[in-house]
Amino acid sequence: MRTTVQLRIREDLATEYPDVYTPEALEATRALAPLNEARRELMHERIQRRRLRLRERPPLAFLDPADVVPGTGLLVRDAREGRFEGSTIPPDLQRQWIQGTGPAAKPRASVESSLRNVGYALLSGADGWMFDGEDALGQVDTMSLDSQRSLRLAIHRDAAFLGAA
C-alpha cells in the first residue's frame, strides 16, 4: 500500500527556489514523506525519555543484551560483539573526504558570497565534501534552501560557482 502525501511548501518559497524545488526533488520528497511519521514517533519517544530523566533523575541504563535493537532483527549482544554482517562499503565512501560542519550558504548573503563556503571546502585538496548543516540551520528560515542551492550550483559546476571558487 502506498500512502499519498500532500506536500505543503510555505509562502512563496516554491517560486523563490525553483532550482531547489525541482520536479525530481518534489517527487523524491513525496516518496520519503511517509517515513516522516516513524521519525516523528521516535522523536516524541525521545522527548518523553528526556522529560522523565529530568524529572526523576534515574541512572543511565543500557539495552539488555537479550533485547533486539529497535528497527532491526539484531540482538544487542550480537551488535556489541560485532556478530553481524553489514553491507559492502561503496567505493565513494572509502575515499578521504573533508566534512563541512556548517551550512553551504551564509545567512542573508548573496548566492555568490554563499558559494565561497562550498568553494573553500572543495579547494582544500580533499576529493569531496560532506555537507552537515544539522546544527547550523536554525538561524535563518531559508538557510537549508540556500544551502541546497549552493550545493546544486557546485555539483553542476555552474558559472556562478566557478567564479566564486
pTM above 0.85, yes or no: no
The neighbour count for residue 103, using CB atoms within 10 Å, is 26
pLDDT of residue 124: 76
Give the model's confidence band at 1: pLDDT under 50 very low, under 70 low, under 90 confident, else very high: very low
Q: How far is CA 108 from CA 44, 112, 139, in A?
A: 32, 12, 10
Give rounded-to-5 percent helix, strand, coil for the chain. Answer: 45, 5, 50
Give CA–CA dist 70/126, Å, rounded: 36
Helix axes 143-155, 111-122, angle to 10 degrees: 60
Average pLDDT over every residue of 132-144 = 70
* Span 70-118, pLDDT tens digits: 889 999 999 999 999 988 988 877 876 666 666 788 888 888 888 887 8
Give the model's confidence band at 121: pLDDT under 50 very low, under 70 low, under 90 confident, else very high: confident
* Span 26-81, pLDDT tens digits: 999 999 988 888 888 999 999 999 999 999 999 988 999 999 998 899 999 999 99
Decide: residue 131, CB within 10 A, 0-12 exposed, 13-18 middle, 19+ buried.
buried
User: Between residues 13 and 139, which one has the greater pLDDT?
Assistant: 13
- Phi, psi dihedrals of residue 116, rounded to the nearest 5°: -65, -35
